[in-house]
Amino acid sequence: MRYNLLNHQFSTEKLSKEQINVLNDFDKIVQGVKPLNSKQLMFLPDNIRELSHQLTDQRSSRRLGYMNENVQLSAYVRYYTWWNLVRLTRLFSNLSADSFPSEDGFCIDLGTGPLTVISALWIARPELRNLKLTWYCLDVSQGAMALGEDIFMSIAAKFPAQNEESHWKIIRVKGSFGTSIREKCSFVTCANMFNELDQSSQMPPEFQTKKYYEQLSNYGSKDAKFLLIEPGVPKAARTLSLLRDRFIKSGYSVNAPCPHCGDCPMNGFKSYTGSKNKWCNFAFSTEDAPQKLQKLSTQAKLPKERAVLSFISVSKAKIETPSIAVRITSDPFRLPKNRTGFYACSQLGLTLVATTKPEKLSSGDLLQVEIKQDISKLPEDFKSGAKILILD
């Protein structure tokens, strides 16, 4: 079967040399903002490995405010934030513009940590730099947000907005998911937070997502867009799939990754308990990830050959007027009410096109006709049984 490749979601093709350079030299940016001395740098790989245990097999002993502790925050930013920037910039640069804000407004990043999503958006989506966005950044860890803001400023200075006034405004909110903020936001983002919430709860995602959905939608304005990203692990992917269902039931449509709004065939049901159900996740090779990051990962004994993530981008469903292609297949003939008819072929079967301006049409013409009413209720020609399309 023939096919057209529409989108290569995780390629670096859309990233310029300047964007890639910033990703490659992220360690220098962090060192410029919060330098470590040579002894601290020597211990960095060990600290990264220790943090990785806390985020995985020792997560039950992890403190909620772990990101407030200097050593852990340094390890997080210099390893996890760097990898997250690599993953997110690839994702963001290849998503369609529908997934992002198109005008000035309020946005919120939940579980923002060191503002990773915001820095990744600034790097990956140049058109957003010229919007006046006010970002509420919410996290339980003030320390992570303070460092993240300095890192973001440093990144933003490397790609100045065309209009100085457009610079994004950052409002840090120390609080947990659900904490209310003053404005409703037209863009709601969240990366790698639901995974942590899931880890700290004994309840399965099926019990959690109703509350998650209500809290998420509380942050959004009437036509808000949501962009949620998680590590590609089964439980977090399951949470996203359940949130997807709730968004769709509430009149949203999924921009990506789903090519449809039907039931998710990779919904991850119980996949985190070892069932054979597939969970939706995407992996790409890290071959062209920053060399220094790969070296650091090897030193920390956490080498990465593939980066994995799950995500959903949703926005209010557009009510599109359906239209159909119609091919005129006859000469004109007279109809009552001063109209002229043509027989035609369309997905409706034999079709009768009726018009008061027959001079515009002739046999063989191909038309795209917008149908503003229920197709099943179109009138039928009593003689031929053809569906009748009355053109303006």
Ligand X SMILES: C[S@@+](CC[C@H](N)C(=O)[O-])C[C@H]1O[C@@H](n2cnc3c(N)ncnc32)[C@H](O)[C@@H]1O
Q: Which residues bind ligand X (CB under 6 A)?
A: 67, 80-81, 84, 111-113, 116-117, 138-141, 144, 176-177, 191-193, 196-197
> Minimal distance in Å, beta carbon 117 to ligand X?
6
Say how many Å lie between the first and final Cα of the chain, rounded.
39
Q: For residues 237 and 271, is the Cβ–Cβ distance under 8 A?
A: yes
126-149 in b/e form (b: 16+ CB < 10 A) is: eebbebebebbbbbbbebbbbbbb
Please tell me the distance from the alpha carbon of residue 190 to that of residue 92, in angstroms, as a whole number.
13
Which residue number places its CB atom closest to ligand X? 113
Name which of 192 and 239 has its Cβ closer to ligand X. Answer: 192
Name which of 194 and 284 has its Cβ closer to ligand X. Answer: 194
Name which of 107 and 117 has its Cβ closer to ligand X. Answer: 117
> Minimal distance in Å, beta carbon 291 to ligand X?
21
Name which of 116 and 286 has its Cβ closer to ligand X. Answer: 116
Q: Output the CA angle 129-137-248, nearest 5 degrees.
A: 85
> Minimal distance in Å, beta carbon 64 to ligand X?
6
> Minimal distance in Å, beta carbon 77 to ligand X?
9
Name which of 80 and 100 has its Cβ closer to ligand X. Answer: 80
Q: Which amino acid is at 276?
A: K
Name which of 92 and 343 has its Cβ closer to ligand X. Answer: 92
Please tell me the distance from the alpha carbon of residue 52 to that of residue 191, in angstroms, as a whole number.
17
Most distant CA atoms of the chain, gap in Å? 92
Q: What are the residues facing 187 on neighbouring strands?
A: 107, 225
Q: Which two tokens stand for residue 359?
A: 């001079």
* C-beta neighbour count of 18 within 10 angstroms: 11
> Minimal distance in Å, beta carbon 180 to ligand X?
13
> Minimal distance in Å, beta carbon 342 to ligand X?
59
